[in-house]
Structure 1
């Protein structure tokens, strides 16, 4: 009987000793867990005019690889992007297709006017569907009754540039009086960005449209016919860019702007039909 009590007592003592050791053992906090091998990459958010889509995607891929970052683009009409910035949308860089929308962004207080730099130029061309159903051969044909023309809205940079072209055609005597009014009477729709203008022409929803020359490079060139606008009547579009003052990654934003103006950035832009800037 006594030996049985002793065995019970010894078992209880062993259990109590083990419990005490466990209670006194330190517990590693979650913060001491092994750090991940790959830290989170910074994300650069770039607001860019729709006409920059192809060129910027190529530039973004190279820039992201070289800076170990993620580059996220928001492509839209410059006027839409300026409105989004005015509403507080987070962004690091704004690349516009004209000075007007960049000035609007400056007015929000989010961009310092002193940081704005031009990084590219562009010019206008007239495009028709590949089969050219309207039989448009010259600029004068745009005023022919019954022609279906599509333009970007005047609030969109390319839309305003298109109106400037029509005004120059009259002012310089290249077209008869009333040419601009006849052309405007043929417009069947106004679009929010240049890519939509091109898409409607490609799909045959219009006989012609006015877009940037950079919009009809590569495969798109085979899907339309192009009618050049002479230099005397054309409008040179200038593209400004600037970092946002409230950028989450100011150094990365500045580096992206510098890359656009670098020899490599200019070469890529030229490859996609943009006119390089002159060295300042």
Structure 2
């Protein structure tokens, strides 16, 4: 029997799956809490999300790649959020609730740039599996980030974590979030994806992508369920489900079509075939 059939995963290689299980557990706890407990769970979700992303990146592509990924995404995210709260560009004029999400830098809670890292990572991986060119991957990542934000911002605004000065020019059903916010997300996520395209060239080929794929599917389908059923946010369930579903449906179709766990696109992740295992 081939060695690949008999090989067992080491504890180190199982670590990303353990982080993902923790992430799912704390996200399930979110609608069951309120007040200070919910704030604590919100921070825990961010830490578990970023932890899952960075642990997987470190295990599968090396610590150097993971650190660089975190610095790029969190660094650009923090810069954009700091400029945004100070000037209103590119997301619109908004403010974070004081003291609810822990310590802040430049009036931005420090967990917020980590949220960018945890949210972008599975979208970046899936976009790499689906897209044949770097330009297409950048565009897909930016669009996927907007889909993720269509879940994130309505949920956090409903919980009072932040609010916009303009509360009546949003999408139908989401008036409290100006529609220009999503243009800002597309711009910032596109910048992040462009920087990551360069960073990809310094790392080994991607492999064992089961965890970020599962993380993506959980974020997409789990958020639709949570918003529609448990959080009373049907509009964000619809908007986020459709927009993030542009990647999600393509991922599912590709899985059914190929019947394998390999990346068969020449430009997928700027590398050759990619296994979906942990």
The TM-score, its normalising length taken from structure 1, stands at 0.28
Greater relative CO, 1 or 2 (CA 8 Å, sep 6+)? 1
Q: Which has the larger radius of gyration?
A: 1
Normalized per residue, the structure richer in helix is 2
The TM-score, its normalising length taken from structure 2, stands at 0.29
